[in-house]
Structure 1
Amino acid sequence: MKRHFLHRVALFVLVLTSHSLHAKLDAFSIEKHVVTLQTTQGEVQIKRQDGESFVIDYLRDGQAQLPSFALAYPRQALPVKVSEYTSYVTITYAEQAIHVDKATGRLAFYYAGEEVVSEKLGLVETSEHRGFSFQLDTDEKLYGGGQRLLGMDRRGHKMPLYNKAHYGYTTESNQMYYGLSAVLSDQRYAILFDNSAKGELDIGHTYADELRFSADTGRTSYVVVLGNSVQQVSQNIAKVTGKQPLLPRWALGNFASRFGYKTQTQTLATAQAYIDNDIPLDAIVLDLYWFGPDIKGHMGNLDWYRPNFPTPENMIQTLTTQGVNTVLITEPFILSTSKQWTNAVANKALATNIDGAVETFDFYFGNTGLVDVFNQDAANWFLDFYSRLAQQGVTGWWGDLGEPEVHPATALHNIDGRLVGADAVHNAYGHQWAKILFEHQLKTQPELRPFIMMRSGFLGSQRYGMIPWTGDVSRSWGGLQGQIELMLQMSAFGVAYIHSDLGGFAGGDKFDAELYLRWLEFGAFTPVFRPHAQDNIAPEPVFHSEDVIDIARDIIKLRYALTPYNYSLSLANSMTGEPLVRPVSFIDESRFTDAKHYLWGDAFLVAPVKVAGVTKQAIDLPEGVWFDYWQKQKWTGEQSISVQAPIGQIPLLVKAGSFIPTVSPTQHLKAYNTRNLHIAYYADAAVQDSTYVMYEDDGASPQTLGTGAYQSIIMTAAQRGKALSLLLTVKGTYARAPLQRTIHYTVYGVNNLPQRVIIDGKHLAESQWQWDELTNSVRFTAELQQQAQINIIL
């Protein structure tokens, strides 16, 4: 941990003699819980916010500030206590504290009485850049920067803060689609640089002991997030930047997607192929051919290409009756050759140049302008097209190229009547696009949860329902190998639904069944299951050989069987900010840099196969007792083990003390219900008590959490000697909730024939339960209304 503040003052005074960046504290005040520091260099405002966080705004006379994109507004400052001492001022609340050095104005942040991070040079301003400098400890490790392939510990790297496409990437990348101007340290703090402008993040690269954020322009503001663990800091980031609203349940299902379906006939035939092959399907995604006959020249039409899609309303209705949702791609570029160009110009919907004319430029798809999503009038023009498509039955949106892929620095955006250069808001473009679309859908379709898939955003984009993916990854083993790192780096900062194009998107000379199926295995334990690729090789399993179809079917049906568990993760994320995918550091902070394994919720440790020819997989177990999900072998933690890894069975461990609820898979999630629920409990004497909560609601209403229209099925276990007690309690309700459930129990870790099984005080006959010696498990069935008590005498 950081050394105590007073021990470091003398050292800092020496360092600062060559800088004028810190300033003497002249006075301080507090009004409406906002602490204002008056220094010889200007004013600093400090506001405590949700998630054990502090927002620090450096204000300078004459320096315009853009609005915050990172923070979940509106937020009032929360109460703090301010105390003055001889050489410093403290701002405190519970375990959180800031010490302000009177001589230098330097801020140091404390948690539970220990310093965790401090400014080094504080606000750094030059004629070209503005940003902040912080002190790094010698052995400190940090996540940060968002989508990059640099290793989990980003210490020692300098990276651009400028969202930019990286087509066909494999195992290395320093600049990608969705960067984050933030770090999360193993010292249990995070710093968020609340500036959307083009910039740079230097994590101990130029100077080993310095973390520095800088930008060409924009806000002089940062947020420090604290907590009692790495996991808590991660959840607190989601609280201060905004938790993800609930997704429709169908978003956890299987998607048919490619670049792209060219006709209405092909689209319907693809959905039917899933039904014919008994593979569940919940959505089909239409790429750019829905609005044009070929790739170039049509972007911005924003309407169906009727020669190939003659009756899209009928197509959508047919898909809907099959339980399949329709998702359409849109882009923010309006080509000068598109049907909407004249309309867009007339309605002033596009970003302009310094002369007030539309800023036009050439890129891969043609000559174009860019929708000014920051301008409310332009946004309204754009959103009218979404309304028309939604009225036809479209239920999901795919926003592509939203970095934006091309964004001339000479383009100007209108924010509340103020013209702002493209570089100042570049990293917030996709964020703002998601915001206007999210708010529009809630207004026009208040009964539906928005589905908004986009590949670029900013800190806090998740609060607008954004579902990002990792871009145009190479269809290769190298492409697969970087996906855990990308997923974990984003998830830890609140971006919970990050996922990849399963199977890989770009290139590939021939179909590699092993690579494809290994990627699907991995995808079954990621937030979104969406195979997608260039269509020279079919990304859908239904267009491959029978043996590939059979294995893919099993993988996808496992995904659907786990819907109660997965959907509970989804609801819990919206309630607490805890991500679905979690680094192992959440349970063992000594493994901060682990990118070979990850956690899927609390129960699963996942170790995907990422190289060809593997039949066994080494797994480094965290502390605890773990079960092989497939073989049911039990292992003691903190050792390296080897498990069988046949294709179709991802190496997967379950932590002792876990409850895993499942259902029988259905063709789509509209047919999902939990009237018949399977619950597996993994017992071990080392885990005396455990609790798990399964959440259920109608799967569609945006108001579930606000109105309390959901059920919590609380599962507890207590093991004392040879007695194992299981208790299920149902709390809450929602429309059409089951009045009764039939629960099919399997309890693993039962090494000997039980003496008896008792349900709600009644002894079961021996014929009513079964013990399996091969899997050391006991099975039985119980009925559940509001509560069920099970006792197993071992």
Structure 2
Amino acid sequence: MKCIYWIGLLSLFIVGCGTNNYEKTDLGLKTSIDSTTVEIQFFSPDIVRVLKYPKDSVIDKKSLSVIKTPEKIDLNIAEDDNYFTISSDHLLVKLNRKSGDISYSDLNGNSLFKEATPGYNFTPTNDAGKSTFKVSQSFQLDPDEAIYGLGILQQGKMSQRNQEVHMVQGNTQDYVPFFQSVKGYGLFWDNYSPTDFKDDADGTQFSSEVGTCIDYYFMLGGNADGVIAKMRDLTGQVPMFPLWTFGFWQSKERYKSQDETVGVVEKYRELGVPLDGIIQDWQYWGDNYHWNAMEFLNPNFPNPQKFVDDVHNLNAHMIISIWSSFGPETKEYKELKDKDMLMDFATWPLSGKDVWPPDMDYPSGVVVYDPYNPGARDIYWKYLNKGLFSLGIDGWWMDSTEPDHMNFKPEDLDNKTYLGSFRKVRNAYPLMTVGGVYDHQREVTSDKRVFILTRSAFAGQQRYGANTWTGDVTSSWDALKHQIPAGLNFSMTGIPYWNTDIGGFFLSNFPKKLNDPNYRELYARWVQFGAFSTMMRSHGADAPREIYQFGKQGDVVYDAIDKFINLRYSLLPYIYTTSHDVTANQSSMTRALVMDFASDKNTHDINNEYMFGKSILVAPVTDPMYTKEVLAGGKTNKVEDFSTVKSSEVYLPAGTNWYDFWTNETFEGGQTISKETPLDIMPLFIKAGSIIPFGPKVQYAEEKDWSNLEIHIYTGANSEFNLYEDENDNYNYEKGAYSLIKFKWDDANKKLTIAKREGAFDGMLENRKFTIILQDGTKKEVNYNGEKRILEL
């Protein structure tokens, strides 16, 4: 016998049918099984929240990541002797009335995902004097099911099966307790305490040190883009970055005066090498006792306003280093301490003296602040606004947002925060501190888009205008290899913007630094990878990395670097349009091959290739080719040897044909090919049926308008491209101030339709020229005034 009920959205009453009573709720049902209360809450037809907690507990949890208000939907509840079944018009959820385990399937009954049996556990524990639980939940995946996500992990894996991960935010590891499956669903474990993820033959499990309840979200997206769309629906959408942030950035640890920093920009302009961003690293505030004072106290920066103006007058932008900690002599420290908004554990820098190793005869007294406290976030912004934003600084390099936790002791996690123990909320630290800066700047002005470069992230951080870098990675070929799957998995958690220190941060593997030809080759290859990242940023310690440190025009390494910086700029119309797709359509800019070619099982665990946007396949070169060892005078030396051109192997996914970007040669997908890779060539392939706009040669992103773009059509399939334009650096696009020009290619009839322009904004080009180029050499120019044009080619 079955009892079937339709849930009215305001109903709440107890139904008795079978062996368990349950409550209908506005979102689903609530029942008790043995000593555990289970709640199933539908936030949308395809997003389900599951709560489990000891029956006598009172749960009033407010998520730090989830901001979605549950939708009003009708649900169908059925029950028999073994199961409660709840279904929306997209998803069917079954709760075992005896074990409490839950399974998910589509409306045709096809299994998607299920909890293990037995699946969950509450272990009593003490958290800083408060009785609570350690919580865990196990799941059962298909044996050959690939999963992706978990954040930035430096282990070189693409699929995250068969591993154990201890999730505590660190310098080079950014954890997001979320994964998505090749089967088209995602799972977000909504817990901020230190968490273990484990996948082995016994199952897949999340286990967290602190939790009043088990709290997770299941979401059905159908494919990778769909899952990401659900995760962003749940935790926040992605605002647009300014156009200039997609240009080239130069930095180092650290420019020691304002003259040095401005001089770098001047040198790039003198050389004619494009540059949009310069970064001022730490110590502009002076000594470590004034750590992160958010003002220029260093005498080598005597005129801060002139400093910023000089950079702007060179048509460049500046972002500046700010931290999550404060020295004891800063105004911020004193105000935060007075209001009990500081934490007490060792962080960077340990010593008051700027020396390595730290001289602990002079402890720095630097401590981190409590960003979980809204009052502390207000104080942070007050000084940031007064000391730096008022000067016209363009963005924020938020370093140590994990934050640095030195000389770790377990009792450090007993530190009290506004939301309870530090242990309870540990992994959400970057979300709170980055979010505080974003929210405050948005309150101040809509004329300048927020741009934050951050070293750590957590679920939901995509809503805060932040681009996460992969931390202070060591310079090595293995490190370069690992950046690719690390960033791709990060993107698959729903956070689309990430980047790396081009060349790696530490040069400890290269004692001769830039004089080592192996490092010079590595740097050139890392630049190529960086040109197809969401931010192209050169940075590192131990040696400067400006292009002129690698020779001059005509030198092989210099020319390779220059070539890819210029290629990056020529692709800005494509990149900026792709960034709009990220914001408007929940897309991703860097895309694991499985995202677009899931039906090709060969793509499921490829960790060294990816799509940049939906048209360009990128295969970075991650092995040395042009350095050899020679014996001279009884010593072995490394030398450059470009006498023989080497090759790399590239897998081209099935289901489409591919164009070699450099030669226009075509290849059928579903095969591995060999591509010659001299130092100035990285394998790039364009998917047949693509339209890619190319912009003018420029020295910075906005030097020239886009009144004369080349529109390259890669034939072989029908294609569309919506060229996006707006005012480049404000939030007027949120009010509809932008334009779209749709290009549509009819491959069978060799016909291009340029649709009537949609939308408008101040400064929009009314008239322009497009040069249409087919890959067989056909070229045609067309004037365009915003009205529909049809071209036969």
TM over 0.5: yes
Q: How does 1:317-716 map to 2 (within 5 A)?
A: 317-336=309-328, 338=330, 340-351=332-343, 364-365=350-351, 366-388=364-386, 389-406=388-405, 409-410=411-412, 420-507=420-507, 508-509=510-511, 510-511=513-514, 512-534=519-541, 536-546=542-552, 547=555, 548-589=557-598, 590=601, 591-613=603-625, 615-623=646-654, 624-684=656-716, 687=717, 689-704=718-733, 706-716=734-744
Counterpart of 1:719 in structure 2 is 747
Q: Which residue of 1 aligns with 2:636?
A: none
- The residue identity in structure 2 corresponding to 1:626 is W
Q: Which amino acid is the alignment partner of residue 614 of structure 2?
A: D
**CA distance in 2: counterparts of 1:381 and 1:272, whole angstroms:** 36
Aligned to 2:355: none
After superposition, residues 33-432 of structure 1 pair within 5 angstroms as 33-49=27-43, 52-60=46-54, 61-62=56-57, 66-71=61-66, 73-86=67-80, 87-113=82-108, 114-120=110-116, 121-128=118-125, 129-150=134-155, 151-165=157-171, 176-204=172-200, 208-218=201-211, 219-292=213-286, 296-336=288-328, 338=330, 340-351=332-343, 364-365=350-351, 366-388=364-386, 389-406=388-405, 409-410=411-412, 420-432=420-432
Q: 256-265 or 332-341, which moves further after superposition?
A: 332-341
Alignment of 1:729-748 (within 5 A): 729-748=756-775
1:693 is displaced (CA, Å) by 1.6
Shift of 1:600: 0.6
Deviations 1:503-537 (A, max 9, x none): 11112322222111111111111100000000x32
* Aligned 1:14-33 pairs, distance under 5 A: 26-33=20-27
Q: Is the 8 A contact 1:474 1:505 kept in 2?
A: yes
Q: Does the 8 Å contact 1:372/1:413 carry over to 2?
A: no
Quote the Cα distance in structure 2 between the aligned partners of 1:362 and 1:279.
35
In 1, Cα distance between the equivalents of 2:149 and 2:214? 19
Contact 1:291 1:301 in 2 (8 A): yes
Structure 1 residues 364 and 69: alpha-carbon distance in aligned structure 2, compared to 1, 3 A threshold? same
Q: CA separation of 1:699/1:525 partners in 2, compared to 1, >3 Å: closer, same or farther?
A: same
Q: Which residue of 2 aligns with 1:769?
A: none
Code of the residue aligned with 2:397 in structure 1: it is W
Q: Which amino acid aligns with 2:722?
A: V
Query: Per-residue CA shift, 1:396-454, capped at 9, x if unaligned?
Result: 001111211117643566666x5x11111111001100111110000012222101111
**Unaligned regions of 5+ residues in structure 2, if any?**
1-17, 126-133, 352-363, 627-645
Identity rate, percent:
25
Aligned equivalents of 1:369, 1:91: Cα separation in 2: 49
Q: CA 1:329–1:372 in structure 2 vs 1: closer, same or farther (change >3 Å)?
A: same
Matched residue SS, 1:482? helix
Are the counterparts in 2 of residues 249 and 567 from structure 1 also a CA contact under 8 Å?
Answer: yes
The CA distance in 2 between the partners of 1:646 and 1:360, in whole Å, is 47
- The alpha carbon displacement at 1:80 in A equals 3.8
- C-alpha deviation, 1:370, in angstroms: 1.5
Q: Deviations over 1:225-246 (max 9, x none)?
A: 2122233223322332222111
The CA distance in 2 between the partners of 1:25 and 1:620, in whole Å, is: 56
Q: What residue in structure 2 maps to residue 765 of structure 1?
A: none
Which sits farther off after the overlay, 109-118 or 188-197?
109-118
Alpha-carbon RMSD across the aligned residues, in angstroms, is: 2.2
Residues in 2 aligned to 1:299 and 1:139: alpha-carbon distance in whole angstroms: 50
1:533-578 CA-to-partner distances (Å, cap 9, x unmatched) read 00x3212213330124333222111111101100111111111221
Structure 2 partner of 1:792? 792
- 2:10 matched residue in structure 1: none
Residue of structure 1 in register with 2:360 after alignment: none
Change in CA separation of 1:583 and 1:790 when aligned onto 2, cut-off 3 Å: same
8 Å contact kept, 2:93–2:102: yes
> Larger deviation: 517-526 or 235-244?
235-244
In structure 1, stretches of 5+ residues that fail to align are 1-23, 166-175, 352-357, 749-775
Q: Is the 8 A contact 1:337 1:367 kept in 2?
A: no
1:131 Cα deviation after fit: 2.0
Alpha-carbon separation, structure 2, partners of 1:726 and 1:37: 58
Letter in 2 for 1:303: E
Counterpart CA distance in 1 for 2:763 and 2:318 is 25
Q: Distance in 1 between matches of 2:451 and 2:44?
A: 26
The code of the aligned residue for 1:579 comes to: S
Task: Give the Cα–Cα distance (whole angstroms) in 1 for the partners of residues 59 and 704 of structure 2.
Answer: 52
**Conserved? CA contact 1:34–1:77, under 8 Å:** no
Contact 2:725 2:738 in 1 (8 A): yes
- For 1:444 and 1:272, the matched residues in 2 are separated by 31
Q: Does the 8 A contact of 2:283 with 2:298 survive in 1?
A: no
Question: Match of 1:770?
Answer: none
Cα distance in 2 for residues equivalent to 1:378 and 1:691: 48
SS in 2 for 1:103: coil
Instruction: String of CA shifts for 1:111-139, please: whole Å, max 9, x gaps.
Output: 25211111113432113421211112222
Relative to the length of structure 2, the TM-score reads: 0.86
Q: How many residues matched?
A: 713
Q: Assess, with a 3 A threshold, how the Cα gap between structure 1 residues 375 and 271 changes in structure 2: closer, same or farther.
A: same
Aligned letter for 1:152?
Answer: M
Tell me how far 1:65 sits from its aligned partner.
Answer: 5.5
Structure 1 Cα separation of the partners of residues 535 and 694 of structure 2: 18
* Equivalent residue number for residue 5 of structure 1: none
Counterpart residue type for residue 364 of structure 1? L
Helix, strand or coil at the partner of 2:450: coil
Change (3 A) 1:289 1:542: farther
Kindly state the Cα deviation for residue 37 of structure 1 after the two structures are TM-superposed.
Answer: 3.1
Tell me the distance in 1 between the aligned counterparts of 2:548 and 2:699.
14
Cα distance in structure 2, aligned partners of 1:741 and 1:414:
60
